[in-house]
Structure 1
Amino acid sequence: MRQHPYDHQWRERCERQQRKRAQRFSRDREWRWRARHRWHQRWHRHHRQFKHSLGARLIAVFIVLACASSAILWWSEDSAAGLLWAVPALLLVTGLAFGAIRHMVQPLHALALGAEAFRRGQFSHRVPVIHRDEIGDLALRFNQMAADIQAMLDGKRALLLAVSHELRSPLTRARLHAEMVGEGESRDALLDELAQMRDLITALLESERLGSGHQALQLSDCDLAELAREQARPGVDLHVEPDLPLLKLDRPRAQLLLRNLVNNALRHNDAARGAVQVGLSRAGNGVRISVRDFGPGVPADALPNLGQAFYRPDAARTRGEGGVGLGLCLCRLVAQAHGGRLELRNAEPGFEAAVTLR
């Protein structure tokens, strides 16, 4: 049978229409899939923003509390004994809301503890990140700030140690050359200035070593009564309680502590009023060291600053008379490294420094 000439064109037209319908269906399906995907993305974005937003969660808690309270009051109006169960239900809902809000703001307490640790100089402390919200972001910034400050302090400490070490060699050579100079006042003054520079460098090195706290110590059994007797000299009255316990201390640092306290007291003591009083007494499982002079004391506004590096209450004093302000700073660092605390107060008359070591 002969094929009609239009049959081929009709089939091609049908096939084109089917392809167009298939393409249109594919485009519609792709458009629906994209719309659904955008909706899911938008929902997840809003959910993530809500989850990471403290304000949004607080608003949600208040809304739920208001709706629950309104529903309880509305249902309680339909029964005569509605108040009997409405009041406990309201208290329960309020307690649940309070617990939820307290859980949300709990990281604020951790931030307060972290700020207190940073104030004490404990920059190794890290604030725990409890929630990934605004408070969590603030905790991360706190931790980054502490890490940056610690890195800055470590760099400063390393630089100061390197400079102090490098200064020792030329200072030693300068002292050797000064000793070859002929006898006279100039030679004595030069040697005295070089000795002060040597003591300053030694104090700087020791203060930086003690900056690492307990890690800088080499502990061994130490008899503080024996170390105190080494400080016996004219103008010093020693009072040592018998049978004091042996303590695990760094002996050279304990010697440095006693020597600086006694020298500081002798420097400011008024001998006409009495000798410097050095006392050792038992304090629980430890030993309390007290050193008192009968000098003019310290102005009340200067007491909080004593023990800071290079601080001197009387700015008019020269280095030869009053030191450079590192003696009490070293005493404070030694006490802190051993787990103690340097206590400074005016004794009226005089001044007293005390440390309890365990």
Structure 2
Amino acid sequence: MKPHPYDHRWRERCDRMKAKRARRMNRDWEYRWRVRHRWHQRWHHQHRRFNHSLGARLIAVFIVLACASSAILWWSEDSAAGLLWAVPALLLVTGLAFGAIRHMVQPLHALALGAEAFRRGEFSHRVPVIHGDEIGDLARRFNQMAADIQAMLDGKRALLLALSHELRSPLTRARLHAEMVDEGSSRDALLDELAQMRDLISALLESERLGVGHRALSLADCDLAALAREQAQPSVALHIEAGLPRLKLDSLRVQLCLRNLVQNALRHNDAAQGEVQLTLARAGDGVRLTVRDFGPGVPPESLTQLGQPFYRPDEARTRHGGGVGLGLCLCRLVAEAHGSRLELRNVEPGFEVSLTLR
């Protein structure tokens, strides 16, 4: 039947066919775009993985070096003077490969410096993140580890300071009450125990104060010879060189160091073999302080741990014979705060501690 001029059904049918064709074209374009976008994403993903992987980039450098070297050698065979330009070209390619590899592994030196700083206890040091690869991730983890350790040490320091301050008041009251007890062995033993607790708290407070290094010191002209003579007693022999220079030191902290070194030497000295030797001698523009005893020494494996808080060798674990392990720690902190280092070594016979003050 012939369509009526005003019948729009045929136009609607044509519009539907056009819309269907347009949707098909849109789907085809969207499919092609998705495929292209997927390959584009894969390319960027693999590119990021390649840039992040140090091993992949090293392999790529070696492959380029091998291909370039092979090409230079192949081209050099076609001419009699090939070796005249092949050798410099090979050296140039090798130099470029060496420079690329050196640039990639350069952050390892920064990591080594950071590890050395952390070994010295400098947890404020931060390793620079040079590349965004595996070494960069390792540097970020190094820095995070240093921050966590520093936060843990700060928390420990704050806790020890708070506990030490809080314990001083009841300890003082306990000592006052103990002094009111009738004289006798029990009273003397109680006062002795309270004195040991007081010394322990004082040592803890002093170690935490010295933990900040040079900032804890009150420097002034100091006569080391006069401080050494204060340690004179029947079992201590003094050897003081004449004309020692006066140094800028914290006299109270140096006196504490001398007292701890001498007491530690007296505690372990064998008086039958000799007296404790306290020596002051000029060392360049400074003074070298040495304390030696004639005791049994310490096991060689314990030398590296001496000076750590609360560490005592197996032979000195009793309270009477070995203390609590803070004496040498305080001496080490005093030496480091003055820019020096506590040197510990076994001698035949005995044990020797020395440091140089400037």
**TM-score when normalising by structure 2:** 0.89
Aligned equivalent of 1:189: 189
Aligned equivalent of 1:163: 163
Aligned equivalent of 1:295: 295
Greater mean deviation of Cα atoms: 8-17 or 110-119: 8-17
Greater mean deviation of Cα atoms: 122-131 or 304-313: 304-313
Distance 1:297 1:29, change over 3 A: closer
Q: Which amino acid aligns with 1:353?
A: V
Residues 123-142 of structure 1: CA deviation (Å, up to 9, x unaligned)? 22222222111121122222
**Aligned equivalents of 1:313 and 1:218: distance in 2?**
33
**Residues 30-41 of structure 1 correspond to what in structure 2 (within 5 A)?**
30-41=30-41
- Within the alignment, does 1:243 sit opposite 2:243 as a pair? yes
Contact (CA 8 Å) 2:268, 2:321: kept in 1 or not? no
Q: Which amino acid aligns with 2:197?
A: M
- Within the alignment, does 1:62 sit opposite 2:62 as a pair? yes
**Aligned equivalents of 2:109 and 2:39: distance in 1?**
38
Deviation at 1:205, TM superposition (A): 1.7
Distance 1:317 1:159, change over 3 A: closer
Q: Which amino acid aligns with 2:238?
A: L
Deviation at 1:83, TM superposition (A): 2.0
Distance 1:318 1:70, change over 3 A: closer
Greater mean deviation of Cα atoms: 198-207 or 263-272: 263-272
**Aligned equivalents of 1:342 and 1:302: distance in 2?**
15
Distance 1:249 1:127, change over 3 A: same
Greater mean deviation of Cα atoms: 115-124 or 158-167: 115-124
Aligned equivalent of 2:136: 136
**Aligned equivalents of 1:118 and 1:239: distance in 2?**
38
Aligned equivalent of 2:152: 152
**DSSP-derived class of the 1:128 partner:** coil
Unaligned runs of 5+ in 1: none
Q: Which amino acid aligns with 1:171?
A: L
**DSSP-derived class of the 2:121 partner:** coil
Distance 1:49 1:297, change over 3 A: closer
Aligned equivalent of 1:346: 346
Aligned equivalent of 1:114: 114
**DSSP-derived class of the 1:5 partner:** coil
Distance 1:26 1:294, change over 3 A: closer
Aligned equivalent of 1:276: 276
Aligned equivalent of 1:320: 320
Distance 1:8 1:309, change over 3 A: closer
**Residues 14-29 of structure 1 correspond to what in structure 2 (within 5 A)?**
14-29=14-29
Distance 1:191 1:5, change over 3 A: same
**Aligned equivalents of 1:184 and 1:200: distance in 2?**
25
Deviation at 1:58, TM superposition (A): 1.5
Deviation at 1:355, TM superposition (A): 0.9
Aligned equivalent of 2:208: 208
Aligned equivalent of 2:175: 175
Deviation at 1:110, TM superposition (A): 2.2
**Aligned equivalents of 1:58 and 1:301: distance in 2?**
42
**DSSP-derived class of the 2:239 partner:** strand
Q: Which amino acid aligns with 1:163?
A: L
**TM-score when normalising by structure 1:** 0.89
**Aligned equivalents of 2:153 and 2:332: distance in 1?**
19
**Aligned equivalents of 2:265 and 2:301: distance in 1?**
20
Deviation at 1:313, TM superposition (A): 3.2
**Aligned equivalents of 2:251 and 2:164: distance in 1?**
23
Deviation at 1:6, TM superposition (A): 6.4
Contact (CA 8 Å) 2:222, 2:251: kept in 1 or not? yes
Distance 1:318 1:52, change over 3 A: closer
**DSSP-derived class of the 2:248 partner:** strand
Distance 1:173 1:81, change over 3 A: same
RMSD of Structure 2 on Structure 1 (CA): 2.5
Deviation at 1:7, TM superposition (A): 7.7
Deviation at 1:116, TM superposition (A): 2.7
Deviation at 1:249, TM superposition (A): 2.0
**DSSP-derived class of the 1:335 partner:** helix
**Aligned equivalents of 2:267 and 2:290: distance in 1?**
16
Distance 1:13 1:99, change over 3 A: same
Deviation at 1:224, TM superposition (A): 1.8
Residues 293-352 of structure 1: CA deviation (Å, up to 9, x unaligned)? 333433434333322222333546632343222211111111112111111223323332
**Aligned equivalents of 1:56 and 1:246: distance in 2?**
61
Greater mean deviation of Cα atoms: 246-255 or 24-33: 24-33
Distance 1:302 1:43, change over 3 A: closer
Deviation at 1:4, TM superposition (A): 6.2
Q: Which amino acid aligns with 1:48?
A: R
**DSSP-derived class of the 2:101 partner:** helix
Identical-pair percentage: 82
Greater mean deviation of Cα atoms: 243-252 or 331-340: 243-252
